[in-house]
């Protein structure tokens, strides 16, 4: 069956002219995975340096880009003053140069056309390509109203294109980094402490005495300063407790590894709460002064004993008690880490709530070695006319569901793009910038159907990623090393600014997203919203308002400011009003109760794998960010495919050998597009298999990563939706293992 929008494999366009940079990268050197600042920078070799902040992941470490006397980018090192990195980039940040030098990059705008009955991409000028985008946006506005356009984004381009969308009349700006990532955590913590966690997480790891990791695999999850602080805390003797069905890197550094049965963490958390209350281990003064609902909570957890949890989690009662005592001993310098990618089982908001409650009982919120009060620098918005009022927005696309969604829900936006009787507000056009939806969203068939229904789809990306194959128009953005972007103002212990400026002219015919947004604005008659010729003017204006300038920031790259909002921690007995209904830390959530949800978390059992199937779990590799780095020449060198971790017991039953390639088939009969190599290891429970996310790319134009490894996303066809905020729980999928022959049979 042909579809209106066939997947087009982008053909190699333009001569691949640029050679790889020669620089050496201190990756995984001396077992220290971070780049070093103490390497002398040879002034003869490196002629110039330019400030940047990294876009290889969203920790946004500030750094310096060095070029040689021919203006070629040679290396990137961390900015010593920046608390996100303390002068050391992670292997991915160091390897970011590979994004610039990747000869598979998108090189010119492309327009989908039909030639002899076959759909192809034609190389186009920017003017032509932007004309097609603007024409289609106008058509959609006329036919359905501008509200029917949606922007899917991740990272820097979102701001400029989001501004364009709002000026055009749509408030549908949506990032999978909410409902596929940290949304439930933000809701669970806000219901408890009156504020979300945000990024970077305000975890005071450097001063903690006890760090509890529930699935957060810091060390493989390479969020830079967090890994550094954890390493320092270990050196200072902190106790690490890791709860993970897999013996993760963090587990290997832990005093306690709790190899929990996947999907049962909420029972463990409730049992910990039970012990901490019943054995009077909680911070009494803190709870008395700041918390609401203690008596209800005490009553609620009465039967949730370690013995009860043992039957569910397989974690022994004495281990549950001992680890609870460890936390209490360290209190308040203890962190039960909120995690980050928390969309696991559909009850994720409530699991995050349980984590927040546990922290509240231990008195760690607003305390040294627990969670500090973060602060971010402010910058005035560049002036523009008010946005037009839109008649409906992302909230209306939820059709009354997901009351606690604080941001747009990507999966709901996809649902809203499918025609259906209950869909009063259908989306008809997408712009996708910096998110590779086929590898990011579960339920790939639904995604494809939705894309097929669209009147128009434009993609802004740097690489011929899988999503570009579905586009009507592809707009090639230049990489973060070739552009100005907004000043980074992310929160930290001290507020600060970091600048990104180009270290090189854009290679090929690529352009920054701010420029793309401005040109589209012009073609849509929205010039008044883009009152500048160059984004430098915006940055300079903003910096002038706060007593600095672009000129100054180009020299220093990073600026730390004084705190204005009070101390990092609560002073003993300090009166404090939390931003909740009661003004207190809510152990009993009045908000949840008012909307008919459990005011305190309740454990429910999740389905378990049928015979011959194993739970599919996934995570990160230290040298890759999702799928965005799989093709990066430097990082591909370090790891070019993922493997599937299988317990030796399971390997024996199936008679599989280490290194053998197999296919995975899920509960709905979906077979992985590509085979995956077996890693036989005791480090995984026998009831689960594990793989690193971000492999199994399907676009042939990714010459290094096409067909390498398997995609977890493809096998995630069962999602467990969080009824509170719409997050897609993705760990309720089960796979069985197929040899080549069995795959042939299964296919026929
Ligand atoms: N190198 C690198 N670092 C990254 C990223 C990256 O792409 N690459 N991405 C960044 C982003 S956006 C995010 S959101 C974070 C994600 O990083 P985390 O928030 O740390 O990731 P999770 O996916 O929640 O955790 C993965 C771990 O959960 C374990 N797990 C699976 N099922 C269960 C279960 O039922 N219970 C428990 N307790 N554990 C389970 C897995 O074995 C694995 O070790 O990483 C960030 N850091
Ligand atoms: N199965 C499964 N699904 C997941 C996860 C998982 O672990 N497993 N993790 C979830 C999590 S935690 C998150 S945060 C999301 C993240 O998922 P996404 O938001 O989709 O992030 P990436 O996969 O990094 O996709 C980034 C896209 O941006 C492009 N890109 C890179 N740099 C630039 C740039 O400067 N400009 C532009 N315009 N494009 C650029 C890349 O080429 C790529 O196409 O995925 C979620 N989905
Ligand atoms: S943690 Fe690594 S990849 Fe992420 S921003 Fe920092 S250096 Fe870049
Ligand atoms: Mo994420």
Pairing between β-strand 48-53 and β-strand 720-721 as defined by DSSP bridges = unpaired
Q: How far apart are CA 107 and CA 479, in angstroms?
A: 11
Q: Which atom of ligand 1 is nearest to the CA of 340?
A: 19
Going by CA atoms, what residue is nearest to atom 44 of ligand 2? 436
Q: Which atom of ligand 2 is nearest to the CA of 153?
A: 19
For 342, the 3-state DSSP assignment is coil
Ligand 1 centre to CA of 625 (Å) is 12
CA angle at residue 691 from 685 to 693, to 5 degrees?
Answer: 140
Specify the pLDDT at position 40: 46
CB 633 within 8 Å of CB 647: no
* Prior bond of 200 cis (ω within 30°): yes
- Tell me which ligand sits closest to the C-alpha of residue 95: 3
Q: Which chain residues have CB less than 5 Å from ligand 4, an ion? A: 181, 341
Q: How far apart are CA 361 and CA 587, in angstroms?
A: 9
Residue 271, burial from CB neighbour count under 10 angstroms (0-12, 13-18, 19+): buried
Mutate to test the pocket of ligand 1, among 213, 247, 271, 341 (most ligand atoms within 8 A of CB): 341
Specify the pLDDT at position 31: 34
Bridge-partner residues for 721, per DSSP?
A: 728
Ligand 4 centre to CA of 628 (Å) is 13
Ligand 3 centre to CA of 128 (Å) is 36
CB 710 within 8 Å of CB 696: yes
Ligand 1 centre to CA of 217 (Å) is 5
Evaluated on CA atoms 395, 443, 617, 177, the torsion sign reads negative
Q: How far apart are CA 207 and CA 523, in angstroms?
A: 53
Q: Mean pLDDT, consecutive 10-residue segments, the chain of 748 residues?
A: 54 28 28 45 73 98 95 95 97 96 98 94 98 98 98 98 98 98 98 97 98 97 97 96 97 97 98 98 98 98 98 98 98 98 98 98 98 97 97 96 98 97 94 97 97 98 97 98 98 98 98 98 98 98 98 98 95 97 98 98 97 98 96 96 98 96 98 98 97 97 97 98 98 96 85
Q: Is the CB of 180 under 6 A from ligand 2?
A: yes
559 φ/ψ angles, rounded to the nearest 5 degrees: -140, 125
Bridge-partner residues for 736, per DSSP?
A: 665
Q: How far apart are CA 630 and CA 635, in angstroms?
A: 7
Mutate to test the pocket of ligand 3, among 26, 201, 222 (most ligand atoms within 8 A of CB): 222
Q: How far apart are CA 161 and CA 178, in angstroms?
A: 18
Q: Is the CB of 620 under 6 A from ligand 3?
A: no
CB 462 within 8 Å of CB 106: yes
Pairing between β-strand 720-721 and β-strand 728-729 as defined by DSSP bridges = antiparallel
Specify the pLDDT at position 3: 60
Q: How far apart are CA 104 and CA 14, in angstroms?
A: 10
For 173, the 3-state DSSP assignment is strand
Q: Is the CB of 627 under 6 A from ligand 2?
A: yes
**Which tokens sit at 30?**
């001396």
- Tell me which ligand sits closest to the C-alpha of residue 616: 1
Q: How far apart are CA 197 and CA 185, in angstroms?
A: 7
Mutate to test the pocket of ligand 2, among 221, 440, 473, 475 (most ligand atoms within 8 A of CB): 440
In terms of DSSP H, where are the helices of 459-549? 513-523, 535-545
| pTM (2 d.p.) | 0.95
Ligand 1 centre to CA of 288 (Å) is 34
Q: Is the CB of 711 under 6 A from ligand 2?
A: no
**Which tokens sit at 591?**
């908000």
Q: Is the CB of 626 under 6 A from ligand 3?
A: no
Q: How far apart are CA 625 and CA 511, in angstroms?
A: 23
Residue 158, burial from CB neighbour count under 10 angstroms (0-12, 13-18, 19+): buried
Q: Which atom of ligand 2 is nearest to the CA of 435?
A: 20
CA-CA distances (angstroms) from residue 382 to 403, 428, 530? 33, 30, 10
CB 263 within 8 Å of CB 243: no
Contacts of 2 (CB under 8 A, 6+ apart): none
Pairing between β-strand 496-498 and β-strand 291-292 as defined by DSSP bridges = unpaired
Ligand 1 centre to CA of 216 (Å) is 5
Helix, strand, coil percentages (3-state) for the chain, rounded to 5, are 30, 15, 50
Q: How far apart are CA 489 and CA 53, in angstroms?
A: 11
Q: Which atom of ligand 2 is nearest to the CA of 57?
A: 24
**Which tokens sit at 480?**
């973060």
Q: Which atom of ligand 1 is nearest to the CA of 223?
A: 47
Ligand 1 centre to CA of 222 (Å) is 10
Ligand 4 centre to CA of 63 (Å) is 22
For 266, the 3-state DSSP assignment is helix
Contacts of 611 (CB under 8 A, 6+ apart): none
Q: Is the CB of 93 under 6 A from ligand 3?
A: yes
Please state, as a whole number, how many other Cβ atoms lie within 10 Å of the Cβ of residue 261: 18
For 599, the 3-state DSSP assignment is coil
CB 665 within 8 Å of CB 644: no
Going by CA atoms, what residue is nearest to atom 8 of ligand 3? 93
With CA atoms as reference, report the closest residue to 192 among 278, 297, 284. Answer: 297
Ligand 4 centre to CA of 230 (Å) is 19
Q: Which atom of ligand 2 is nearest to the CA of 468?
A: 44
Going by CA atoms, what residue is nearest to atom 3 of ligand 2? 440
Query: Using CA atoms in the order 97, 538, 378, 229, what is the torsion angle rounded to 10 degrees?
Result: 10
Mutate to test the pocket of ligand 1, among 247, 340, 347 (most ligand atoms within 8 A of CB): 340
Instruction: Kindly report the three-state secondary structure assignment for every residue of 539-587.
Output: HHHHHHHCCCCHHHHHHHCEEECCCCCCCCCCCCCCCCCCCCCCCCEEC
CB 622 within 8 Å of CB 13: no
- Tell me which ligand sits closest to the C-alpha of residue 225: 3
Ligand 3 centre to CA of 61 (Å) is 6
CB 317 within 8 Å of CB 282: no
Bridge-partner residues for 77, per DSSP?
A: 64
Domains and CATH numbers, the chain: 182-374 (3.40.228.10), 614-747 (2.40.40.20)
**Which tokens sit at 277?**
């209350």
DSSP run (H or E) holding 643: strand 643-646
- Tell me which ligand sits closest to the C-alpha of residue 340: 1
């Amino acid at each position: 069956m042909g579809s209106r929008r066939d997947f087009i494999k982008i053909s190699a366009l333009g001569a691949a002219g640029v050679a790889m940079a020669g620089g050496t990268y201190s990756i995984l050197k001396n077992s220290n995975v971070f780049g070093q600042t103490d390497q002398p920078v040879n002034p003869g070799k490196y002629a110039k340096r330019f400030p940047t902040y990294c876009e290889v992941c969203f920790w946004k470490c500030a750094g310096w880009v060095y070029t040689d006397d021919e203006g070629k980018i040679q290396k990137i090192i961390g900015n010593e003053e920046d608390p996100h990195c303390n002068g050391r980039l992670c292997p991915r940040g160091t390897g970011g140069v590979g994004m610039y030098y990747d000869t598979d990059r998108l090189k010119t705008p492309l327009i989908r056309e039909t030639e002899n009955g076959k759909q192809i991409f034609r190389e186009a000028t920017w003017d032509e390509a932007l004309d097609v985008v603007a024409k289609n946006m106008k058509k959609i506005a006329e036919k359905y109203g501008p509200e029917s356009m949606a922007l899917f984004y991740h990272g820097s381009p979102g701001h400029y294109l989001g501004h364009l969308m709002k000026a055009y009349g749509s408030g549908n700006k949506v990032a999978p980094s909410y409902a596929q990532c940290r949304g439930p955590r933000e809701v669970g913590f806000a219901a408890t402490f009156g504020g979300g966690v945000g990024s970077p997480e305000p975890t005071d790891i450097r001063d903690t005495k006890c760090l509890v990791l529930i699935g957060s695999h810091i060390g493989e999850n390479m969020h830079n300063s967090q890994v550094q602080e954890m390493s320092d805390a270990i050196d200072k003797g902190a106790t690490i407790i890791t709860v993970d069905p897999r013996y993760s890197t963090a587990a290997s550094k832990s005093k306690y590894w709790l190899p929990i049965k996947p999907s049962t963490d909420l029972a463990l958390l409730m049992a910990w709460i039970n012990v901490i209350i019943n054995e009077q281990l909680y911070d009494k003064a803190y709870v008395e002064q700041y918390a609401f609902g203690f008596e209800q909570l005490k009553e609620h957890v009465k039967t949730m004993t370690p013995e009860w949890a043992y039957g569910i989690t397989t974690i022994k009662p004495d281990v549950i008690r001992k680890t609870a005592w460890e936390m209490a001993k360290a209190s308040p310098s203890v962190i039960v880490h909120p995690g980050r990618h928390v969309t696991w089982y559909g009850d994720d908001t409530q699991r995050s709530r349980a984590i927040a409650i546990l922290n509240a009982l231990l008195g760690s919120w607003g305390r040294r070695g627990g969670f500090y009060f973060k602060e971010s620098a402010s910058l005035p918005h560049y002036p523009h006319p008010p946005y037009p009022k839109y008649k409906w927005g992302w909230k209306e696309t939820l059709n009354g569901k997901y009351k606690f969604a604080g941001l747009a829900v990507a999966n709901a936006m996809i649902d809203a793009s499918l025609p259906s009787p209950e869909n009063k507000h259908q989306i008809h056009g997408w712009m996708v910038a910096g998110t590779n939806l086929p590898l990011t969203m579960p339920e790939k068939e639904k995604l494809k159907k939705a894309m097929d229904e669209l009147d128009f789809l434009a993609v802004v990306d740097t690489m011929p990623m899988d999503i570009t194959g579905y586009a009507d128009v592809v707009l090639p953005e230049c990489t973060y090393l070739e552009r100005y972007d907004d000043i980074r103002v992310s929160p930290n212990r001290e507020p600060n600014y970091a600048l990104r400026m180009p270290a090189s002219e854009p290679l090929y015919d690529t352009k920054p997203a701010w420029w793309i947004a401005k040109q589209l604005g012009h073609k849509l008659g929205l010039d008044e919203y883009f009152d500048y010729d160059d984004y430098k003017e915006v940055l300079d204006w903003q910096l002038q308002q706060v007593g600095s300038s672009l000129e100054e920031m180009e020299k220093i790259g990073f600026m730390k400011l004084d705190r204005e909002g009070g101390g990092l921690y609560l002073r003993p007995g300090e009166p404090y009003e939390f931003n909740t209904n009661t003004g207190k830390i809510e152990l009993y959530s009045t908000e949840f109760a008012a909307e008919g949800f459990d005011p305190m978390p309740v454990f429910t059992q999740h389905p378990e794998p049928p015979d011959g199937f194993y739970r599919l779990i996934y995570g990160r590799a230290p040298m890759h960010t999702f799928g965005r780095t799989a093709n990066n020449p430097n990082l591909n060198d370090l790891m070019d495919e993922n493997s599937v971790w299988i317990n030796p017991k399971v390997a024996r039953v199936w008679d599989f050998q280490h290194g053998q390639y197999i296919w995975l088939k899920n509960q709905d009969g979906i077979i992985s597009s590509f085979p995956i190599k077996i890693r036989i290891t005791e480090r995984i429970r026998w009831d689960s298999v594990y793989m690193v996310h971000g492999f199994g790319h399907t676009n042939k134009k990714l010459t290094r990563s096409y067909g390498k490894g398997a995609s977890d996303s493809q096998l995630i066809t069962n999602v467990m939706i969080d009824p509170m905020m719409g997050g897609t729980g993705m760990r309720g999928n089960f796979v069985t293992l197929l040899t080549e022959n069995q795959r042939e049979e299964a296919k026929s």
